[in-house]
Structure 1
Amino acid sequence: MCTGGMMTGEVCGWQVTATQATVHYDEGTTARNMVVARKTSGSCTVKGDSGGPVYTIDGSGQAYAQGILSGGGGGGSDNSGGAFDPCELIFTDIGLASNAFPGTVAWH
């Protein structure tokens, strides 16, 4: 999977590690039914990337919406994932977002 954040741009290589997760954010909020993904190389997402798309790209270059970026972290001081400090991504599944928010998701 890939993310498209305002601060980091396109970051790919994410692998889902948990679904329907309950996440407790630093500022005290709790979110339920979130998806968690990780990666151990390349850039992590940063504050300011929230609200960006989470998507997959097939062999022909077609992108498919997977969710909306909510948070993450990891990567240590250089903001780059590794075996001992992997990047973590938290996002809302596109199906849940589509049902919860007004408007529609375009399916092609």
Structure 2
Amino acid sequence: LADAARADVATAKAISAGKPSPVAAAVAKARQQQANALQAEIDRARGGSPSSRAAPPSTSKPPADQASALNQLDGSLKIAQQKAAALVPTLPRYRAGLVGSVAAGCASLRELFS
């Protein structure tokens, strides 16, 4: 989930690089916060020092057309929402709350595309 959030940040920033997009900027900011929270929990659970991971290299560039790129980003948010929601029942309470908030956050971000 943290890697997916970082990938969404990279995609959203790439979308805004050519022509600023308030939707992409909002997604980048929120998904960065989610990635940071998830990574902090991963680091805490491992008992190690905090790590900072960069976004994974993107295997595909967002489409050149901004509308298509935003549709792709919306699809990524939908997948992240579904994966997070599916994990919630399997996790301890604290992690379930964190992952549930990620699922809810993705759902609310998807409303920006409506």
Report which of the two structures shows the higher radius of gyration computed on alpha carbons.
2
When you count helix as a share of all residues, which structure comes out higher? 2
Higher relative contact order (CA 8 A, sep 6+): 2
When you count strand as a share of all residues, which structure comes out higher? 1
Same fold (TM over 0.5): no
Relative to the length of structure 2, the TM-score reads: 0.23
